[in-house]
Amino acid sequence: MMLVPCYLAASNIEGLGVYSREPIMKGQLIWRFDPRIDRMISLDSFSDADERLSNFLNRYTYVPHFDRTVCILDGDEGRYMNHSETPNTDFSSIDAGYALREIPADEELICDYREFDMTADHMMASISPLGRQLSLDAVRLMTANSPASANGQLGH
């Protein structure tokens, strides 16, 4: 759940982005997983999902490094945070995100998807101009064949 006042607006990166309403201090906690609004969903529970649900989940969820059997859906503006190779946030913690530097009001909050999504490299490579991403079956196959699953280790 976003912990700083923010809003959605058109992004120069892609589609909509998350923007700060107020200045954010370096090191400030900006997001924390909150099960009252954010969802951790078993990937198996969507094996019979229709195309619309599959497309939504593929676009707005991520598979965390700590558990390749689930995906996480941010329940608020956080799901619209865009990726950058030079982020202004740090999401390397399992359940929290922080500002890497002072962020002025009205600046887009951007993160490095690879810090929290084990499918980020594959997902970003699969995005077409229409925003289509890998299917859940492709994610399952990829994670089943990952080095982490082969040795039972998950993490960064």
State the pLDDT confidence band at 2, using cuts at 50, 70 and 90: very high
Cα–Cα distance measured from residue 118 to residue 140, given in angstroms and rounded to the nearest whole number: 11
- Is 60 or 106 the better-scoring residue by pLDDT? 106
Residues 6+ apart with CB under 8 A from 99: 24, 25, 26, 27, 28, 30, 88, 89, 90
For 64-81, how does the pLDDT look when each residue is reduced to its tens digit (9 = 90+)? 989 989 999 999 999 999
% of the chain exceeding 90 in pLDDT: 56
Model confidence at 138, in pLDDT bands (50, 70, 90)?
A: low
Reply yes or no on whether the pLDDT at 131 is more than 60: no
Rounded to whole angstroms, the Cα distance separating 22 from 99 reads: 13
Is pLDDT above 60 for 14?
yes
Per-residue HEC secondary structure of 127-151 comes to CCCCCCCCCHHHHHHHHHCCHHHHH
Among residues 12, 56, 42, 87, the alpha carbon closest in space to that of 31 is found at: 87
Residue 47's region, left for phi above 0, alpha for psi from -120 to 50, else beta, is alpha
**pTM beyond 0.75, yes or no:** yes
Strands (DSSP E) contained in the chain are 6-10, 16-20, 29-32, 39-42, 61-62, 70-73, 82-83, 89-90, 96-99, 108-111
> pLDDT-derived band of residue 141, with 50, 70 and 90 as boundaries?
low
- Amino acid 137: pLDDT: 61
CB atoms within 10 A of CB 23: 14
Task: Summarize pLDDT for 88-97 with one digit per residue, the tens.
Answer: 999 999 899 9
pLDDT of residue 139: 53
Q: Is the pLDDT of residue 148 over 50?
A: no
Mean pLDDT of the chain: 83
Helix (H) or strand (E) segment spanning residue 120 = helix 120-126
